Structure 1
Amino acid sequence: MTPNAYRRSEHLRALWPWLPLWTAAALLAIFAHGPMPLFSTRTLAVAWEMWHGHHWLVPYVNGQPYSEKAPLLFWMIHAGWAVFGVSDVWPRVLEVGFGATQLVLVSTIARRLFPDRPWVASATPWMLLSLSYAFLFGLQIMYDVLLATWVLATLLCLLPTERRAEPRWWLFGLCIGFGLLTKGPVMLLHVVFPWLLGPLWNDWARTHRARWYGLGALGVLLGLAMLLAWAIPAGFSGGEAYRQRLFFTQTAARVVNGVAPAADLQNHARPLWWYLLAIPVLMFPLAAWPRAVAALAMLRRPLPSGMRFSLCWLVPAFVTFSLVSGKQLYYPLPELGGGCLLLAGAIALLRERHPQLASTAWLGTWPLALGGALLAVFMFVLPDLVASNRLHGEWFDEAVDYSRYFSVLFLLLGALLLLRGRGEMRRLAIAGLIGTLAFNTLFTLTAWHKYDLTPSTDLLAAAEAEQRPIAYLGAYDAQFHFAARLTRPITEIRGDAAIAAFAQAHPDGLIVTHPEKLTAADRRYALLVQPFRSSWIVIWPAPVLSDVQAGQQPPEPTTPTRIYPAPLRP
């Protein structure tokens, strides 16, 4: 066996422990319950409307062109539907595939950046799969998971291999293009800094600056050309209003005003330091691992090229996203792989430069073990606290039937983290993954019924089959369209006058409302009442709701209201 073939076989063997473990956990979690409103249901709704209406260029939502996102994810969903038929199974399998690809990519990146430190390539994917937020958000049918995959693939194209020091510029440009077709110009903010700062970490870039920047700029232009190859014909196909939003209100505003459109900037406005406080959440449980914190604190120059690459990627991206007014936890999702790469490299340096400090027990996983033990105790006594009226809340009251079973699991995970000896990082990763899967399972058993819109979508699907018009009081987020397979738009209405006008125009129509609390009229005259998150979904015959809103006595219903009881205990 040649040296290269031997190294490839070693790398394939290294995939065995973490890749099937993460894939099995992700499949169990993503199929434990249905697609989550409102993220996953909206993505599926857009894909469904494009599919049903044969709109291959322009995404649609609720009958209108959807300028918020580029179409690559929808095309990938359509490819699976063309083979397997329309369902939510393929999109969920697709998301799991994206996550698995990220693990392979980050392992390959670590292997190229730290060729003389194989532990980093082994540890980085373990660290990434341990992150609770990345795992849970990866269960959403969303663009950011695919975007993170293209970001890692783009950065991989910049890295030298054993045979070639120069980047593969055409692949660099193609991956940028696919990222742009996934979520638009924000793709550039994730990948442009390692390229612009290339001479700080890459020897070839330092000695071939003109070629590095010239061919890199051509790669960026190739990616932009791929985006324009879709956007220009889509703009003309979607009409004047869509074209204005796509090229100016959305695309230009994202670049000038900061990643998000104006409405999102207003709704998601956060202070400058918000992402700094979010780091412990995004990087949990690694953020609570003393060995990782100490390794970062002990970093000193000179730094290997892999560490310089990670810093050239993470620091400018963090500053840029912090300067943007609109902030969401999932915006820096592509950088989580870089964070794990930085931590793995820092721990490797700590072991080399401070071996005695790196081996001390107080840098182990005892804080996480203690946290697991305290959580186990709390979950064990939770039924007694609720029964004695010392603790109440919708989450606590619903968890009491299962909390003691899960307390045993978290106690075992805490014990696993207390074990000494080699394999500490893997034990931490396995405990983090299983603990996150346990929380997802507990959510499925106790709280999913408040997110399951099946009763409402069944009723709306029946109304669609009868050609009955449907309206929504307030802003409609397309949460019913895919599951009910709606083929007509739902009318958004606001105010009593709009309710009366809709009822007069459509006496056989239905109106969906989303009240915070139920009234006696909701329970008596509505067709259906079901809990939804911390509020309710109520579906009315349009004339009945108009009468109630006008203070008139509606006729007695011929069928009783279908009420799905509140999940809280009396």
Structure 2
Amino acid sequence: MEPYALPQPVAADPGADSSGPARLWARHHLLGLDAVVLLIVGLALFWGLGSAPIRDTDEALYAAIALSMAHGGSWLIPHLDGVPYIEKPPLLYWLMALSFKAIGVGAWQARLPDALAAWMTSFGCMVFGRMLAAPVAGRFAALLTGTALGYVLIARTILFDPLMVFFWLIALAMVTLAVQRRQRFWLRAAAVAVALATLTKGPVALLLLGLIAVVQLLFAPGTWKRGALLRFYLDPWAVAIFLLVAAPWHLAAMEAQHGFAWFYFFNETIGRFLGTRIPDDFHHGPWWYYGPKLLIGFFQWAPWIVVLAWFGPRLNDSKSATLSARWGRNAAIVLTLFYSSAGDKGAYYLLPVIPLVAWWLGVKLQQAMEQSDQAAAALPARLGLAAAAFGVAAVALWAATFTPQLHRDLLHSGLPSADTAWLLPMIAGLALTSLAGAVLLRSAKLHMGMAVFALSALVMVQFSVRLAEAKTADLSQKQVAADMLRELPPHTRWFSWQTFEDHDASLLLYGVNHLQIVDSTSKDLWFGCQQARQSTCVTPQVLLQARDKGLPVAVWVARDRLPGWLRSGLSKGLSSKAFKNSVVYYSRGD
């Protein structure tokens, strides 16, 4: 047995009890390794989850919708700031609203569903590995997925993707099992999972699963005849189960909300891919946009990927784990090509690529551990070099921060001056965990080396939390709301001048019940304000009427909108209070 292989039970007499002490020890040892992996992943995902404030980005929008539901708003049609918001289905909102109702309103409660989904994704990797007799592959995929910097940071943010990825990967895993075992039960289980993914992020979940199934049908049907495999895919019970889970909300929403079908199915799904969506508030980028994003996504594990992809054994056999690894690799390629060709691009769209690549590489590692040739024996040492390379790169980056130009760039990017000093302990932590992991790997202690190296994620998460706390004034309106709510009467009417998303949306999470947008250019409220314009998107006359009635008012104005606000003349007679990125004009009323 190679020194880095899984522990095996000692030889026993033919008549000995197969559940003897050695087998029990091996089983408990492996369960202990699994527990360590899940603990490290849990720390990376949950540690300090609520320390950073809700940000004035999609986080605030989605959390505000869930808060509205929790406080008696519609659970059928999501509403943002009082108007319909139907860009995405409601499952994430429902889970956040239940979290608010069960354990209170706050940042960590809002982020809990996504973080928990990411932790369950790692757990699912381990379960899948056990099912396919590839526990090392499952453990490696779980550890990489749950500690890769990009994946962790997205999973600690309120977005649809971590929850969608959890359900979608279950669906893909079940489809691979169904095809391998020729059992429709797994296909029907996949129908439930992809329906939940569809209720999380819309029809794109079904589209992507179908696209991958078609690629396998055309290019890698295995022992299947293509016609038989197509008929297998189109199992009537699987189709019925999908519709039973996914259709009711969509049908009810079409009945309840005018314009839903066009905006949700065509504009939001097809238009987003083609880059013709109205309003144009999506990201554009060149065809290579996702290359750097994936590098950041894998981050500390990138050198490991190079080593395992290049030096790991070729996956040529017909074992279940190998077949599933090829599905994972193909799916990662399909997703990358699909989103690279889309008009709308976002770094988090490729979130499922990380666990897919992790599983493919994990199966390579599993097979290397089962082999006894020289190349397999050298693999842990090469992984040790990969770990050391990341540690050395971290130290080099820290050394580079002493150059005047880079130091100025760091401060210019928003890193508070006091926190540049905290770069040293962070880099020291990264170097320590990386180099310690490298030493263990070079000593053929594979599992311990992986676990120690993965601790680097905890160092980076702690730094990101401290940075977000230090930049609260840049990221969130938490302090603005706290100061102004102390200053103003409870029944104050709040307005925002020409802005909403990415600026002042978090006011809704920190005590402002409703925000009326004066002369709105908001893109997130575009559809809703077409349906219910009088309630949220208003003209300056509404603000003037409130002042004429002697009502207390407060107007939030972003600093880049101050010239237009001052030219409007609406500031006359109002007091003002300046904050870092905004000025609030207010009157306490008569």
Same fold? TM cut 0.5: yes
2:426 aligned partner, one-letter code: F
Q: How far has the Cα of 1:311 moved from its partner?
A: 2.6
* Counterpart for residue 376 of structure 2: 355
Summarize the Cα distance change of 1:506–1:369 in structure 2 as closer, same or farther, 3 Å threshold: same
CA contact (8 A) 1:526 1:538 kept: no
Q: 1:50 aligns with which of 30, 48, 69?
A: 69
3-state SS, counterpart of residue 490 of structure 1: strand
| Partner of residue 422, structure 2 | 402
For residues 407 and 78 of structure 2, the distance between their equivalents in structure 1, rounded to whole angstroms, comes to 53
Higher mean Cα deviation, 171-180 or 340-349?
340-349
1:292 aligns with 2:332: no
Does the 8 Å contact 2:434/2:456 carry over to 1? no
In structure 1, the residue corresponding to 2:190 is in which secondary structure? helix
The question of whether the paired residues in 2 share the 8 Å contact of 1:510 and 1:540 is answered with yes
CA distance in 1 between partners of 2:90 and 2:27 (Å): 35
Q: How does 1:221-232 map to 2 (within 5 A)?
A: 222-232=241-251
On the 8 A contact 2:477/2:507 being kept in 1, the answer is no
- For normalisation by structure 2, the TM-score amounts to 0.77
Unpaired runs of 5+ in structure 2? Answer: 1-16, 522-537
Q: CA deviation at 1:17?
A: 0.8
Residues 1:109 and 2:128 are matched in the alignment: yes
Instruction: State the one-letter code of the partner of 2:210.
Output: V
What code does the residue aligned with 2:331 have?
W
Distance 1:387 1:77 in 2: 40
Per-residue deviation, residues 385-426 of structure 1 (Å, max 9, x unmatched): 599989853426242343343343234234324412224561
SS in structure 1 at match of 2:183:
coil
Structure 1 residues 480 and 230: CA distance shift in structure 2, 3 A: same
Q: Distance in 1 between matches of 2:225 and 2:110?
A: 40
User: Quick one: distance in 2 between partners of 1:77 and 1:181?
Assistant: 14
Work out which of the residue numbers 454, 460, 468 in structure 2 matches 1:436.
460
Deviation at 1:491, TM superposition (A): 2.4
- CA distance 1:98–1:479, shift in 2 (3 Å): same
Name the structure 1 match of 2:92: 73
User: Which amino acid letter does the alignment assign opposite residue 151 of structure 2?
Assistant: A
Aligned mate of 2:337, from 295, 312, 319? 319
Name the Cα RMSD after superposition: 3.9
Distance between the aligned counterparts of 2:176 and 2:399, measured in 1?
48
Matching of residues 18-167 of structure 1 within 5 Å: 18-113=37-132, 115=133, 117-160=134-177, 165-167=182-184
- Matched position secondary structure for 1:472: strand
Contact 1:526 1:540 in 2 (8 A): yes
Q: What amino acid maps onto 2:282 in structure 1?
A: N
Give, in whole Å, the separation in 1 of the partners of 2:54 and 2:283.
23
Residue 257 of structure 1, aligned match among 263, 271, 291: 271
Moved over 6 A (4+): 5-11, 204-207, 386-391
CA shift, 1:430, in A, is 1.6
Residues 266-308 of structure 1, C-alpha deviations (whole Å, 9 max, x = no match): 6312222222343212221222334134247x74756731332
Secondary structure in 2 aligned to 1:34?
A: coil
Q: Is contact 1:190–1:334 with CA below 8 Å preserved after alignment?
A: no
CA distance in 2, matches of 1:11, 1:203: 34
The CA distance in 1 between the partners of 2:123 and 2:272, in whole Å, is: 31
Distance in 1 between the 2:545 and 2:385 partners?
A: 70
Query: Equivalents in 2 of 1:363, 1:159: separation in Å?
Result: 34
SS in 1 for 2:579: strand
Gaps spanning 5+ residues in structure 1: where?
Answer: 545-570
User: For the structure 1 residues 46 and 16, does the alpha-carbon distance in structure 2 shift closer, same or farther, using more than 3 Å as the test?
Assistant: same
Tell me the equivalent position of 2:297.
Answer: 282
SS in structure 1 at match of 2:111: helix
**CA separation of 1:390 and 1:153: change in aligned 2, threshold 3 A:** closer
* Per-residue deviation, residues 59-113 of structure 1 (Å, max 9, x unmatched): 0001111111111112122323333344444333333321210101122233445
Change (3 A) 1:120 1:55: same
Segment drifting more, 188-197 vs 387-396: 387-396
Counterpart-to-counterpart distance in 1, 2:90 and 2:324: 34
Which of the pair has the greater relative contact order for Cα pairs under 8 Å at 6+ separation? 2
Q: Using a 3 Å threshold, how does the CA distance of structure 1 residues 198 and 429 change in structure 2: closer, same or farther?
A: farther
**Partner of 1:331: helix, strand, or coil?**
helix
Match in the other structure for 1:365: 387
Residue in 2 aligned with 1:237? 256
Equivalence for 2:527: none
**CA distance in structure 1 between the partners assigned to 2:338 and 2:409 by the alignment:** 45
1:49 to 1:300, Cα distance in 2 relative to 1, 3 A: closer
Q: 1:543: Cα distance to partner?
A: 12
Alignment map for 1:447-462 (pairs within 5 Å): 447-459=471-483, 461=485
Alpha-carbon distance in structure 2 between the residues aligned to 1:164 and 1:299: 23
Aligned-partner SS, 1:21: helix
1:542 CA displacement: 7.2
User: Is the Cα contact below 8 Å between 1:152 and 1:334 reproduced in 2?
Assistant: yes
Structure 1: how far apart are the matches of 2:354 and 2:18? 35
Of the three residues 515, 519, 538, the one matched with 2:559 is: 515
Contact 2:303 2:386 in 1 (8 A): no
How many angstroms does 1:142 deviate by? 1.9
Q: 1:316 to 1:172 in 2, by over 3 A?
A: same
Task: Report the more deviating stretch, 463-472 or 365-374.
Answer: 463-472
Q: Which of 470, 475, 493 is equivalent to 1:469? A: 493
Identity of aligned residues (%): 14
Q: How far apart, CA to CA, are the structure 2 residues paired with 1:70 and 1:506?
A: 36
Matches for 1:333-352 after TM superposition, within 5 Å = 333-349=351-367, 352=371
Matched residue type, 1:515: R
Do the aligned partners of residues 426 and 300 (structure 1) sit closer, same or farther apart at CA in structure 2, a change above 3 Å counting? closer
Structure 1-normalised TM-score? Answer: 0.79
1:202-221 Cα shifts (integer Å, max 9, x gaps): 65787952652221x65245
Query: Conserved in 2, the CA contact under 8 Å of 1:112 and 1:160?
Result: no
How many residue pairs are counted as aligned between the two chains?
Answer: 524
